[in-house]
Amino acid sequence: MRLGVLDVGSNTVHLLVVDAHPGARPLPAYSHKADLRLAQLLDERDAIGHEGVAMLTETVRDALETAEDKGVEDLLPFATSAVRDAGNADEVLDRVRRETGVNLQVLAGDEEARLTFLAARRWFGWSAGRLLVLDIGGGSLEIAFGIDEDPDAAVSLPLGAGRLTAGWLPGDPPDQAALRALRKHARTEIARVVGEFSRFGKPDHVVATSKTFRQLARIAGAARSADGLYVQRELKRESLEYWVPRLARMTARERAQLPGVSEGRAGQLLAGAVVAEGAMDLFGVDTLEICPWALREGVILRRMDRLPSA
């Protein structure tokens, strides 16, 4: 069947159309992203402003029409941190539903972590053993650990690259005092949950998903996206220790010139790198592997698992 996943994230609204069958790998058929930066459109009340809601509604409407054009049988629409944490989340969801007919499911933070973990488990298989999965989005950091398809521990922290850039790193480039304050904040938040995971033992394999980790791995020398899904891509903590101070001295425009860094994400790459370095350090991770599948694939896999058997 042809499924459409509509992911309303903190940075982008992403429509992914796949051909999916039980027991088979979902095959991408169409993909389109719209950069809205919802995490950076919050006002002093942590509410998404009128203009942002209007933009989101129009984008969802366009995505719905595109999904129909592409022959999508079942659309799976969901929203993550930016809408979940917005002070006017109910108002936003109601307007989208009234004007487009799309009922966005707001994923809880731990559910987001669990679905991302499911995608990583399916990608790497049982032979990977105990997995620790890290995912840095625009609004939150998800962490999950386990040996089965449902993790033993899963948490979501408000440490997304977009959220932190807007709230902690004014200036381009930011000043060193702001960077030190962000580093302390991020590590304090991560350290609070390390104990929830360490009691399950050490992971056999550590993986990361998300655009932030892919871009960090790329500037550290990993293969290009054009080289394909099945090329192993790694990120070392020592590479982050090298790159964080260098990214801090660059403007967003200069970061956008780095290999694999998009202009739209360049401004928040430093905040993402600070969180990534802190997570790897506090969890004792020297090297992690980039997983091509993430939350959207997790949503698809969960949907396919719930189909009745033939």
CATH class label, 2-106: alpha beta
pLDDT for the residue 41: 73
State the average pLDDT over residues 48-61: 93
How do residues 283-308 score in pLDDT, each as one tens digit?
A: 999 999 999 999 999 999 999 888 76
Q: Is the pLDDT of residue 279 over 90?
A: yes
Torsion angles phi and psi, residue 287, rounded to 5: -140, 140
* pTM as predicted: 0.95
pLDDT for the residue 38: 82
Do the first three CATH levels of 2-106 and 109-295 match, i.e. the same topology? yes
Q: Is the pLDDT of residue 22 over 90?
A: no
307 vs 51, higher pLDDT: 51
pLDDT for the residue 232: 96
Q: Report which DSSP code applies to 224.
A: P
Q: How far apart are CA 138 and CA 12, in angstroms?
A: 9
Q: How confident is the model at residue 309 (pLDDT cuts 50, 70, 90)?
A: low
Q: How far apart are CA 37 and CA 82, in angstroms?
A: 9
CATH number for the domain whose boundaries are 109-295: 3.30.420.150
The answer to whether 139 touches 182, Cβ cutoff 8 Å, is: no
pLDDT for the residue 183: 98
CB atoms within 10 A of CB 275: 26
Q: How far apart are CA 251 and CA 169, in angstroms?
A: 12
Give, in order, the Cα–Cα distances in Å from 78 to each of 8, 75, 86, 130, 161: 6, 10, 15, 28, 20
State the average pLDDT over residues 81-102: 95
Per domain, the residue ranges of the chain are: 2-106, 109-295
Q: Is the pLDDT of residue 104 over 70?
A: yes
Q: How far apart are CA 119 and CA 303, in angstroms?
A: 12
Q: Is the pLDDT of residue 310 over 60?
A: no
Percentage of the chain exceeding pLDDT 70: 99
State the average pLDDT over residues 271-290: 98
CB atoms within 10 A of CB 165: 23
Burial, 248: exposed, middle or buried (Cβ in 10 Å; 0-12, 13-18, 19+)? middle
Burial 8-38 (b: 16+ CB within 10 A, else e): bbbbbbbbbbbebeeeeebeebbeeebebbb
The answer to whether 48 touches 37, Cβ cutoff 8 Å, is: no
State the average pLDDT over residues 32-38: 88
State the average pLDDT over residues 17-41: 88
Q: Which of 107, 75, 79 is nearest to 93 (CA)?
A: 79
Question: In the chain, where does DSSP find H-type helix?
Answer: 50-69, 81-84, 89-100, 109-124, 161-168, 176-198, 211-219, 237-249, 252-255, 263-266, 269-282, 295-305
How do residues 199-248 score in pLDDT, each as one tens digit?
A: 999 999 999 999 999 999 999 999 999 999 899 999 999 999 999 999 99
Please tell me the total number of residues recorded for the chain in this structure: 310
Calculate Rg over the CA atoms of the chain.
Answer: 19
